[in-house]
A = this chain, B = another copy of it.
Amino acid sequence: MKTTIKDIAKSTGLSTATISKYLNNKPISQANQELIQNAIQKLHYEPNLAAQSLRSGKTNLIGLIISDIGNYFWGPLIANLTQIFSQSGYTVIVRSYYRNTDQKKKLTQEMCTQNFSGIILLADNAKDTSYQPFIRANIPIVVIDQIPNAMESTPVDCVLSDGYSGGREIAKHLTESGHQHVYVNAPLDDSYNIGQRILGITDSYSHAGLPLPMIEKSHRYTTPEAIKKYGEQTLPVAIHKHPEISAVIFTSYELALGGLAAINTHGYRIPQDFSVISFDDDALFKCVYPSITAVSQDMDLFSLQISKILIRRMNGDYSDFPHTEYIPVTLHKRQAVQDLTKKAVEE
Contact = CB atoms under 8 A, between A and B. Distances in A.
A290 B265 CA distance: 10
B54 A48 contact: yes
Interface string A260-303: 11011000001000000000001111111111000000000000
Contacts of A49: 50, 114
A289 B260 CA distance: 8
A79 interface: yes
A50 B115 contact: yes
A257 interface: yes
A98 interface: yes
Interface residues of A, number: 53
Given A69-B78, A260-B288, A284-B282, A50 B46 contact: no
Nearest to A86: B95
Given A50-B54, A113-B46, A286-B261, A93 B96 contact: no
Residue with the greatest number of chain B CB neighbours at <10 A, chosen from A54, A70, A79, A290: A79
A80 interface: yes
A240 B1 CA distance: 63
A282 to B, nearest CB: 6
Contacts of A335: 264
A69 B48 contact: no
Contact of A83 (B69, B82, B109, B283): B69
A91 interface: yes
A260 B98 CA distance: 34
Nearest to A267: B289
Nearest to A300: B70
A335 B289 CA distance: 14
A252 interface: no
A110 interface: yes
A210 interface: no
A81 to B, nearest CB: 10
Contacts of A283: 257
A2 interface: yes
Contact of A75 (B72, B95, B110): B72
A285 B98 CA distance: 25
Contacts of A80: 70
A96 B80 CA distance: 10
A92 B93 CA distance: 7
Contact of A96 (B79, B98, B263, B287): B79
28 contacts: A46-B110, A48-B54, A48-B115, A49-B50, A49-B114, A50-B115, A69-B78, A69-B79, A70-B80, A72-B72, A72-B79, A75-B75, A75-B78, A78-B94, A79-B96, A83-B98, A91-B93, A93-B93, A260-B284, A260-B288, A261-B287, A263-B289, A264-B289, A264-B335, A282-B284, A284-B284, A284-B285, A284-B288
7 residue pairs, one from A and one from B, having the closest CB atoms:
A75-B75, A46-B113, A50-B53, A72-B75, A260-B287, A50-B54, A69-B79
